[in-house]
Amino acid sequence: MSAPAAPAIAPSATVPPSAASDDPAIAIELSGLGKRFGTAAPVLDDVNLTIRPGEFVALLGASGCGKSTLLNLISGLEAPSSGAMEIPADGAAFMFQDASLYPWLTAKGNIELALKLRGVPRQERSAKAEELLHLVHLSGAGTKRPHELSGGMRQRVALARSLAQDRQVLLMDEPFAALDAITRDLLHDELERIWRETGRTIVFVTHNVREAVRLGQRVVLMSSRPGRVVREWQVTAAQKTPEAAANLAAEITAELREEIRRHV
């Protein structure tokens, strides 16, 4: 499968239309979005971002930039304090840094619970769960409990579970941050493959510049306190070569450091 061209081009016909917004070319639209907790300084202020269906967007920022809060707003777990947003009506699947698998269920049982809560009939759940386990290369591990799996395997089960939710949008909050480098590398390949196979819209939060460049079609840099969109980079297929990616990462890192220095 070939990589999409420069992301400026409208999504190809293989991408399913967004479930929510009126404009099929928009999956998520945030305009002037703000969030503050109580009377404290705002966490997010005037965030503007448009994400097309099937797009892979990496949200990058230092600590305190409100990346996680932004995901909570998009998922509907929290309500914004100001601004408007267009999000999928059925909500979004969510994956966290910690796999959050239920320890009393097997790997397959965890996926089946997601299917059950989504309303999939009982007799279809088992086959569907097996299918998803196969997708994340864990066909043989369905009967294992979470504590018997490695961190990387747990995150793959968590990924399968979030795919079981069958939402067009998948939000990922530093899902690989706690993994070792070898595992993380592999999961990057794995996630890219699954993204291409399933056509999901992915919003991937990270504080790792190289990870953002490696995965994203678009890297969005956010400022901290309050969180705002500072700058965006398109990552074309040509820029995914090791050399070009390293150059781009260096450029983004410089900008990120500049942004952090403002807080001295």
Partner 1 sequence: MSETRTIVPTTDVRDVEAGLDALQTKAPGPGAAARARHNAGKVIAPVAALVLLVLVWQLYVTFTQKRADLVPGPLDVASALGALWAEGRVQEAVWTSVQRGLIGFVVSAVIATPIGLLLAQVKPLRNAFGPLVSGLQVLPSVAWVPAAIIWFGLTDATVYFVLLMGAIPSIINGLIAGVDQIPPQYRRMGRVLGAGRWAMALQIVLPAALPGYLAGLKQGWAFSWRSLMAAEIIAVGGSMGFGLGSLLQQGRDLADLGTVMSAILLILAVGIAVELLVFAPLERRLLRGRGLLNGSTL
Specify the residue, 137 or 207, whose C-beta has the smaller distance to partner 1.
137
149 interacts with partner 1 by CB under 8 A: yes
**Which of 203, 239, 244 shows the shortest CA–CA distance to 61?**
203
Q: Given candidates 69, 75, 155, 168, which one binds partner 1 under the rule CB under 8 A?
A: 75
**Which of 34, 64, 53 shows the shortest CA–CA distance to 259?**
64
DSSP run (H or E) holding 29: strand 28-35
One-letter amino acid identity for 247? N
Specify the residue, 194 or 256, whose C-beta has the smaller distance to partner 1.
194
Q: Given candidates 26, 64, 118, 225, which one binds partner 1 under the rule CB under 8 A?
A: 118
240 interacts with partner 1 by CB under 8 A: yes
Q: How far apart are CA 152 and CA 229, in angstroms?
A: 31
> Which span (48-56, 199-207, 238-246, 252-260) binds partner 1, by CB under 8 A?
238-246
What is the signed CA dihedral for 61, 30, 233, 200, rounded to 10 degrees? Answer: 100
Q: Given candidates 17, 96, 130, 260, which one binds partner 1 under the rule CB under 8 A?
A: 96
Specify the residue, 188 or 225, whose C-beta has the smaller distance to partner 1.
188
Q: Given candidates 143, 241, 247, 258, which one binds partner 1 under the rule CB under 8 A?
A: 241
φ, ψ dihedrals at 109, nearest 5°: -60, -40
261 interacts with partner 1 by CB under 8 A: no
Sheet holding 28-35, edge to edge: 44-51, 28-35, 82-86
Q: Give me the least distance between CB of 153 and partner 1, in Å please.
A: 6
14 interacts with partner 1 by CB under 8 A: no
137 interacts with partner 1 by CB under 8 A: yes
Q: Give me the least distance between CB of 218 and partner 1, in Å please.
A: 17
Q: How far apart are CA 239 and CA 180, in angstroms?
A: 25
The size of the interface with partner 1 (CB under 8 A), counted in residues, is: 46
Q: How far apart are CA 59 and CA 70, in angstroms?
A: 10
Is 78 exposed, middle or buried, given 0-12, 13-18 or 19+ CB atoms closer than 10 A?
middle
Strand pairing class (229-234; 218-222): antiparallel
> Which span (15-23, 79-87, 110-118, 199-207) binds partner 1, by CB under 8 A?
110-118
DSSP run (H or E) holding 218: strand 218-222
- Is the C-alpha dihedral spanning 97, 102, 105, 109 positive or negative? negative
Region 167-186 residues binding partner 1, contact defined as CB under 8 A: 182-183, 186
Token pair, residue 154, equals 């747990």
Output DSSP code: residue 117: H
Specify the residue, 179 or 229, whose C-beta has the smaller distance to partner 1.
179
Region 187-226 residues binding partner 1, contact defined as CB under 8 A: 189-190, 192-193
- In the complex, the residues that contact partner 1 under the rule CB under 8 A are 2-3, 5, 75, 77, 91, 93-94, 96, 98, 100, 102-104, 113-114, 116-118, 137-138, 141, 145-153, 161, 165, 182-183, 186, 189-190, 192-193, 237-238, 240-242, 245
